[in-house]
Structure 1
Amino acid sequence: MYHLIVTHSILRYLVLLSVLLVIYLAWEGLVFKKPYTRLHRVATASASGISQLQMLVGFALYYFSPTAQSFWQTKSMRWGDGLFFALVHFGLMSAAIAIISVGEALAKREADERRRFRILFNYFVLALFIILVAIPWPFSPLAQRPWFRSF
């Protein structure tokens, strides 16, 4: 299970970077009226793919995690790591990945480049906001995890 935690920890930075890249490219396309190119398609597909891979690793981690399993055994609604990871983190991150996937699919089907950039920007900013809320930052009052896991 430790390998899943390390993988999940590394992938989180790739997810954040790829989502930020898509947001920047969509903003740049909107503001400077640039054409939608292969770079935009690859960046969007990569961000969606990396985030879905992160979700799969997260699901495996959720299934094997003693923190989530102990929550479901006790079903204690007292605030703590169990409640955060079993419900809040799991639910918000799943919603964020779904929003990223829907945004990518809608943008892919849109013919107008301005609307395509606007869709990408709106959906990815919303997903980023949800992701930032649901991350167990080292300074978070909800649940804390270190910036980097040691190998």
Structure 2
Amino acid sequence: MLYHFFLALHSASRWMIVICLILLLLRSYMGWKKKYQIKLYDSTLQIITLALLYIQFAVGLTLYFESPIVQYFIDNFKEAVKLRQVRFFGMEHITMMTIGIIVFTIGYIKAHKAPSSEAKFKTIFIYTTWATCIILTSIPWEFSPLTSRPSFRMF
């Protein structure tokens, strides 16, 4: 029962993350190209995105260790690694999402050390672009050739 709640939460919260990443990409690109000054809004959006990513990661780890698909993957590795959907959730999804969050975190740290607003926006844009590409390609979208899951799950 708790597994299904976390699964629905994990599915729903991806939309908040996708929206935050898109807003952050747009704002950082405009800030970089138009030479805006960093404002409280920019820092807040970056912190909210980072917090949502970490919360999503924690929920995802809970799901990973409770998932019957992952349990099958672990128990039957030699056979399961040949099955696309099982391999995706047992290995690929968690690995790529972890890398995406690490890339975003590195960008967050580097942006705060950047000497100017222009450099901060550029750093945010570059690292957020990479993290977004990694994350978006690792989400099990309805249209994904890797594995397909519903866009919205009910609680």
Q: Is TM (by shorter chain) over 0.5?
A: yes
1:93 is aligned to 97
Give 1:79 shift. 2.6
- Give the aligned residue type for 2:152: F
Within a 5 Å distance, the mapping from 1:108-119 to structure 2 comes to 108-119=112-123
Give 1:103 shift. 0.8
Which of residues 33, 36, 59 in structure 2 aligns to 1:34? 36
Which 10-residue stretch deviates more, 76-85 or 16-25? 76-85
Which of residues 32, 41, 48 in structure 1 aligns to 2:50? 48
Q: Where does the alignment leave 5 or more consecutive residues of structure 2 unmatched?
A: none
> After TM superposition, where is structure 1 displaced by more than 4 Å over at least 4 residues in a row?
none
The percentage of counterpart residues that share the same residue type is 27
Within a 5 Å distance, the mapping from 1:1-151 to structure 2 comes to 1-75=3-77, 76-151=80-155
| Cα displacement string for residues 73-105 of structure 1 (whole angstroms, at most 9, x for unaligned residues) | 000221332100111111000100111111111
The CA RMSD over aligned residues, in Å, is 0.9
Give 1:150 shift. 2.1
Give 1:31 shift. 1.7
Following the alignment from structure 1 to structure 2, what is the Cα–Cα distance between the partners of residues 26 and 101?
A: 16
Following the alignment from structure 2 to structure 1, what is the Cα–Cα distance between the partners of residues 57 and 127?
A: 18
Give 1:20 shift. 1.0
Following the alignment from structure 1 to structure 2, what is the Cα–Cα distance between the partners of residues 140 and 86?
A: 17
Q: Where does the alignment leave 5 or more consecutive residues of structure 1 unmatched?
A: none
